[in-house]
Structure 1
């Protein structure tokens, strides 16, 4: 059949969307030999053979020698064991981070099944791949299969590009190279809003043996130590003893994030003298037996080690705690991501992903030892240290009148842990903040803030003139407001007020002599007050 004959055969078809994809396919010289399924259009010469990729209840995706095609299924006949039928059970395949796949996904799947009235059973467990089957309690009908492959974040992105996974579990942000590969594969821009979701928050914490006697360290010294530039505890105020380095495997997403965020900005790499441990438990045990040891552990796996507070040269410091992770004030906060390609998902899969934001899912995440996305109220009475720090750090350009204005405006309100920050050197919100925008918009839409005044309060670092910093912090607060309103459809409801205010450099959370300190101080906080 020639391309001209193919073109003639399109006449009278319903669904012009077929035309481009089918023309490319049928005019290709390549043709699959060992096919999973064969699709045909009744009373037509049209036929497609290829590997079944997915079905969303309306459209079927098939990998052909000419590329992936998506077709409306109800007008086609299908031959092959993988063909969807009336009893078709949607399958969603997760691949990536072991930490997500082994510690978070199983309890989430079990809790979701309970919430929707389903049973869940493990159908298969092979080489790190676990298949969960969900069936309705009432009808016994299969609802969904969830396949979880626990490997690495990098493997998860590779599986997505190879059509071996539908959703990536990642303990770090997608890299530029992975973004490019996903675009080339027709998966969309994975770092766009809506393409990634933060499933939980974790953090990396510098830790030592309790015998070391050290309780705080600068992020710069963490970088210098792991690069092998500082080799003795005496060089940073400890006893005269060689430092023994301990880390988790370098292929883990969190370790890749550690390299990117702590060492790479200074052009450093991890010393070859570091001892690697297969598990956090093994690393923690090694540190307990090594009073000279220094390591980095996930927030939920500190064991009996001594976590170290991160401190700057000006004396302002922050420890890894639930609240500092939620506010992203702790600089080594590591969001755990789900990355989704730009394609339709089956309604059952969409329902599961939507449920992940519900309170019952957030409870599961907390019980698994991670930090959830639920906003926490922080009354002014619990922020005495912050305001005392503001008074201590205030220079000549932050007069008493400005501090009094800040206390007068914020005093009657309650701060929520939701905080917004921007990417380094950019006006674009960072990954956690983009997720926070969507969550705040959802909460407003669901009526959780009805009758309240929400105030987005901008702050800046202390570099440059105070008046200019106040203007910059105001612009950031307004940018967040625009982002929230853009995420609301059809717009801000009348029962909620969303205002902005700015105080520039008046309330520092970190020292300004480091990049991470500047990023910590450049933020927009969310405050709330009853307007009735």
Structure 2
């Protein structure tokens, strides 16, 4: 029964149901068709980062949750996997997952060779336009953020270097900076450690660091197929530096990273979850809005569920789970923000916005439900929430930036009020406290945000 059928549903419960209905049409596995001709019930195509492990793991989790037996994952081709299982009547279902790069997912959607496109980047305007016959793939139903990806840059525990910027990191791994002394450290020649070309970790680092700075990996870098072996090698080499997924830091020491004018940040789970940490990015599934393929709808629904997010975390990515974190004060904080740092905790979620807009993006629509659930479960609905909005200085009009930052906080306040929250305070701090560089759209998007604080 939907929440709208219950006569005494609370405002928060109504909003949860409303946002869920907005994102996905209702389906049930009992009504999902099993192709009679033995063809796959669903095809997922696209990102190596998703398709290598996370995609098949989510498919397996869905089948197991719904009672399918003998669920197994098997290779069906180069960078391709098939997940199979049997229902209670002994009928076979198979789902195909192909990982040939994000762009191939959108091509496959357009050619009707896939019902889900997995992507480690947002869909491009040109791709969305070419697929317009399928509907609006940028809509809340078409675009689904299922996880956050984050990387740690690691050093030998004895290395005294505290922080690097993304620009410096790119020069190091391109081989342009050759000694630790050039970075203000000590130790002589820098030894580079990197994942192999088939790794999603490598794809992420290449995109967020090297390609973003117009660089390529130095030929002398040591390449590793195993995350564990790479991490252990760096932890045993005083001159080594490498990059790795967050679960594989092990005995090495993580390095703080900055972007533009941001403060250097260590790769904590919370700062990756907020997307403030520079080496973080969203992982997406895209599908045809409307009726579409019911298996695709059910898989996306499962990916957003608590069990789906557990699988996200187990696969080495960051789950979209709301929790409170303590923030350390530093000298660049405005007085009002410092008061929050002293007396409240920040939630590990940010609401982000399009340029010049106070309209919530698709991830934010789902994050509203997550925040409301956290506030309800922790008895913080009544005057214990503070909202702080931020902007980017692209238009060089500080008054407009300041106004937009407060309007964004007010937009979040309006949605929380619908869920029964009495907000304690809202503030707009303009372009203060950037978390990314403002010289590109990716960085400006990160800076256009609203933070949620709880007392």
Match of 2:68 in 1: 118
Structure 1 residue 508 and structure 2 residue 433: aligned? yes
Identify unmatched segments of 5+ residues in structure 1.
Answer: 1-55, 58-81, 486-491
Match of 2:175 in 1: 228
1:340-359 residue CA offsets vs partner (Å, 9 max, x unmatched): 23463343542332122222
Partner secondary structure for residue 45 of structure 2: strand
Q: Which has the higher contact order (CA 8 A, sep 6+)?
A: 2
What is the aligned counterpart of 1:242 among 167, 186, 189?
189
Partner secondary structure for residue 328 of structure 1: coil
Aligned ranges 1:296-445 → 2 under 5 Å: 296-311=243-258, 316-342=263-289, 344-378=291-325, 382-383=326-327, 385=328, 388-389=329-330, 392-393=331-332, 402=336, 406-407=339-340, 415-422=346-353, 426-427=355-356, 434-441=362-369, 444=372
- C-alpha distance in 2 between matches for 1:292 and 1:318: 22
Aligned ranges 1:440-519 → 2 under 5 Å: 440-441=368-369, 444=372, 448=376, 451-452=381-382, 455-460=386-391, 470-480=402-412, 484=415, 493=418, 495-497=420-422, 501-504=426-429, 508=433, 510=435
- C-alpha distance in 2 between matches for 1:344 and 1:149: 23
1:195-253 residue CA offsets vs partner (Å, 9 max, x unmatched): 22222222122223335443422222112223333222110012252223333345756
1:149-191 residue CA offsets vs partner (Å, 9 max, x unmatched): 34433443443343322212233334456445545xx444544
What is the aligned counterpart of 2:118 among 169, 193, 214?
169
- C-alpha distance in 2 between matches for 1:178 and 1:339: 12
Moved more, 461-470 or 300-309: 461-470
The normalised TM-score by structure 1 is 0.64
1:101 positional shift: 3.1
Cα contact 2:258–2:265 (8 A) shared by 1: yes
CA separation of 1:247 and 1:501: change in aligned 2, threshold 3 A = same
Cα contact 1:172–1:257 (8 A) shared by 2: no
From the CA coordinates, give the structure whose radius of gyration is larger: 1
What is the aligned counterpart of 2:81 among 130, 135, 142?
130
Structure 1 residue 108 and structure 2 residue 108: aligned? no
Cα contact 2:49–2:201 (8 A) shared by 1: no
- C-alpha distance in 1 between matches for 2:67 and 2:212: 49
- C-alpha distance in 2 between matches for 1:89 and 1:158: 20
Match of 2:16 in 1: none
The normalised TM-score by structure 2 is 0.74
Aligned ranges 1:209-224 → 2 under 5 Å: 209-224=156-171
Match of 2:12 in 1: none
1:391-435 residue CA offsets vs partner (Å, 9 max, x unmatched): x225xxx5x5x568x54xx87765322212346xx236899x631
Q: Provide the aligned length of Structure 1 versus Structure 2.
A: 419
CA separation of 1:241 and 1:403: change in aligned 2, threshold 3 A = closer
CA RMSD after TM alignment:
4.3
Structure 1 residue 204 and structure 2 residue 151: aligned? yes
Cα contact 1:244–1:274 (8 A) shared by 2: yes
1:504 positional shift: 0.8
- C-alpha distance in 2 between matches for 1:230 and 1:349: 46
Partner secondary structure for residue 317 of structure 1: coil
Cα contact 1:110–1:120 (8 A) shared by 2: no
